[in-house]
Copies of this chain bind each other. A is one copy, B any other.
Amino acid sequence: MREFSWAQIGAARTTIAPFVHRTPVFTCSTLDERCCGHVFLKCENLQRTGSFKFRGAVNAVASLTPDQRKRGVYAHSSGNHAQALALAARLHRIPAYVVMPEDSNKAKIDATRSYGAAVTFCRPTDDDRRATAARVGAETGAVFVHPHDDLRVIAGQGTAVCELIDEVADLDLILAPVGGGGLLAGTVVAAKHLVPAARVIGCEPSGADDAFRSIQRGERITDFTPNTIADGLRTSLGEKTFSIIRESVDEVVVVAEEEILPAMRFVWERTKLVIEPSSAVAVAPLLTRQIDVTDLRVGVILTGGNTDLSRLAPMQGPLP
């Protein structure tokens, strides 16, 4: 995709530096033993708003013209993009309007509101989501910020791997989950510029494997019904992200649904980091050895940590 290059990611690094956390990189000896490699976990679960999404959102907001800033931004999202855009707007003192399905997790609604965004509810269908968002956009005159198919957003997401590469030399392989593809697209463009020898692999849950199938077929598949526990990866690739990913990513591997929660649990237990199922999709193929990383240095983007703990029964139950 000619209109997108490393230069935009390099510029995004400077733009977003005052706003983002430089997240730590964790290692885990048990993980290394299990996969026979050296794994470096980039902890975007410790990013502001709990996911890498804040990088793209704040880059998009920072790129607005003065006139656009007055009008504010809007998006539809049930998840991490909503919180990320809300905080990005608040830090820039501009309005944010977020359309959320009425069955969204209450903690996410509360978090989005706590960052000052105006939340409008819609029915939990794609059609009503789009229609409601269009209405909010028309009423407010705000600028739409897509969660992934936006070059400002893709550039922001690409900054996470830049920090990882700064800190960890000679990576052989970089793994990132793929949903809408914003993270993977930004990651591959940054990585191929900074460490051209490293391979970049996208990791996709079997219940939403549209990226894998789109690449195989050579055209973007949009007509599918996701059924995955990795709730951050249910969306399909965008036109821009598909174009970049098809051109540059070395491989997309499909991770079996039943491997995701065990990998998530492994990370919780062994690293003491809360990650969400979407993040575990990039850890599972190391534990199962679906990807052979023997003696390799492997970077993994842990994308976020916004899990719904209200489902974890003992947190509210009686004494054991």
Which residues of A come within 8 Å of B, CB atoms?
24, 43, 45-46, 50, 107, 207, 227-229, 257, 261-262, 264-265, 268-269, 272-275, 305, 309, 311-316, 319-320
Contacts and interface: CB of A to CB of B under 8 A. Distances in A.
Given A311-B314, A314-B261, A320 B272 contact: no
A319 B264 contact: no
Contact of A268 (B229, B309, B319): B309
A174 to B, nearest CB: 22
A285 B274 CA distance: 23
B261 A316 contact: yes
Given A46-B272, A228-B319, A312-B312, 6 more contacts: A24-B24, A43-B272, A264-B315, A269-B274, A269-B309, A311-B314
B320 A257 contact: no
Contacts of A229: 319-320
27 contacts: A24-B24, A45-B272, A46-B272, A50-B272, A207-B319, A227-B319, A228-B319, A229-B319, A257-B319, A261-B314, A261-B315, A261-B316, A264-B315, A265-B309, A265-B315, A269-B309, A272-B273, A272-B275, A272-B305, A273-B273, A273-B274, A274-B274, A311-B313, A311-B314, A311-B320, A312-B312, A313-B313
A144 to B, nearest CB: 29
B315 A314 contact: no
Contacts of A50: 272
A12 B275 CA distance: 35
Main secondary structure on chain A at its contact with chain B?
Answer: helix
A109 to B, nearest CB: 14
Contacts of A313: 311-313
A136 to B, nearest CB: 28
A272 B50 CA distance: 8
Contacts of A305: 272
Nearest to A107: B269
Closest 9 CB pairs of A and B: A272-B305, A272-B274, A45-B272, A312-B312, A265-B315, A311-B314, A229-B319, A313-B313, A268-B274
A65 B227 CA distance: 61
Contacts of A275: 272
A273 B269 CA distance: 11
